[in-house]
């Protein structure tokens, strides 16, 4: 069975600073994908970044990057130059070939002006 | 550019009533699913379908029915609503052999 754990219910960051959100996962599959989704107050689910497990290189998308540690089953999200618009719930997710996405419980990010 | 469309967006039900949450996607995706989101619990899979005529249970299927008569539509039926089913419901779709899931905008359901 797949599990995804986000141990930080809430995080705060000063505007323009950097913050890292943690995620650990467990899966018995050798081929899987990892994701970070952003959910603003509107509740819309927005894909932030995606990582294929077979790729060693960490994914980056502008100010967002991940630290993928496959052996440790860790997948953290780093947000650089934080902006007020980054305030949201962030969900980590894992998907294997069964089409099932398993989500963590989320981390609420507050950005302080 | 519709993507995944859910209706209704808001609904209040009385305990014991039945209703159907509609979901349609126009991307010809084979895979569709329903999640519920509750505070502190993330998104939990209710039911999913890998193609027309094929459905299966997820983590929390009790109290819900689904059917998949067409590729485009995947309605979620609440048979006899209970206050424990108060939640935000998300429909999602994904193409076969794909790995990125697309979400609808969510349906807020309150059962009183």
Put simply, the answer to whether B48 touches A99 (Cβ < 8 Å) is yes
% of residues, chain A, pLDDT over 70: 97
From the list B55, B46, B1, the residue with the least C-alpha distance to B25 is B1
Mention every residue, 6+ apart, whose C-beta is less than 8 A from residue A85. none
E-strand ranges in B1-112 read 4-7, 10-13, 19-25, 31-37, 43-51, 54-57, 64-66, 76-78, 87-94, 102-103, 107-111
Residue carrying the six token digits 């894909």 = A47
Secondary structure E strands in chain A:
3-5, 10-14, 19-21, 24-26, 32-39, 46-52, 60-61, 64-69, 74-79, 88-96, 101-103, 107-112
B99–A105: do the CB atoms touch at under 8 Å? no
Nearest in space to A48 (alpha carbons), one of A18, A89, A84? A89
The Cβ-side half-sphere exposure at B67, using a 13 Å CA radius, reads 5
pLDDT-based confidence at residue A6 (cuts at 50, 70, 90): very high
Exposed, middle or buried by CB within 10 Å (0-12, 13-18, 19+), for A54?
A: exposed
Spatial neighbors of B73 by CB under 8 A, at least 6 apart, are B22, B23, B24
Radius of gyration of chain B (CA): 13
Q: Which residues in chain B are contacts of A104 at CB distance < 8 A? A: 42
For A54-99, the pLDDT digits (tens) are 888 999 999 999 999 999 999 999 999 999 999 999 999 998 766 6
d(CA B108, CA B47): 18
In whole angstroms, give the CA distance from residue B75 to residue A22: 35
- Average pLDDT value over all residues in chain A: 93
- With an 8 Å Cβ cutoff, are B106 and A103 in contact? no
pLDDT tens digits, residue range B51-83?
Answer: 999 999 998 999 999 999 999 999 999 999 999
| Interval A18-34: pLDDT, tens | 999 999 999 888 889 99
Q: Which residue of A has its CA nearest to B47?
A: A100
Q: Which of A4, A95, A105 sits opposite B41 (nearest CB)?
A: A105
Spatial distance between the Cα atoms of A36 and A18, rounded to a whole number of angstroms: 17
Does the distance separating the beta carbons of A103 and B100 come in below 8 Å? no
Ranges of chain B whose pLDDT falls below 70: 1, 98
| Interchain CB contact of A107 with B (< 8 Å) | no
CB contact under 8 A, A47 and B100: yes
Shortest Cα distance, chain B CAs vs residue A63, angstroms: 20
């Amino acid at each position: 069975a797949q599990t995804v754990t986000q141990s930080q219910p809430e995080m705060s960051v000063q505007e323009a600073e950097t913050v890292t959100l943690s995620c650990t996962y467990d899966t018995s599959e050798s081929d899987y994908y990892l994701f970070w989704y952003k959910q603003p107050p509107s509740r819309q689910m927005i894909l932030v970044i995606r990582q294929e497990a077979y790729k060693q290189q960490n994914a980056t998308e502008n100010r967002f990057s991940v630290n993928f540690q496959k052996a440790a089953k860790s997948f953290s999200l780093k947000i650089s130059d934080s902006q007020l618009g980054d305030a949201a719930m962030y969900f980590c997710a894992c998907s294997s070939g069964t089409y099932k996405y398993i989500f963590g419980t989320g981390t609420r990010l507050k950005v302080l002006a | 550019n519709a993507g995944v469309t859910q209706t209704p967006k808001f609904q209040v039900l009385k305990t014991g009533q039945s209703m159907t949450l509609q979901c349609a996607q126009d991307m010809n995706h084979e895979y569709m699913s329903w999640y519920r989101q509750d505070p502190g619990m993330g998104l939990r899979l209710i039911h999913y379908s890998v193609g027309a005529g094929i459905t299966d249970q997820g983590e929390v299927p009790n109290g819900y029915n689904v059917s998949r008569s067409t590729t485009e539509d995947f309605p979620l039926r609440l048979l006899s609503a209970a206050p424990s089913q108060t939640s935000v419901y998300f429909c999602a779709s994904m193409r076969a052999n794909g790995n990125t899931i697309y979400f609808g905008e969510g349906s807020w359901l309150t059962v009183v």
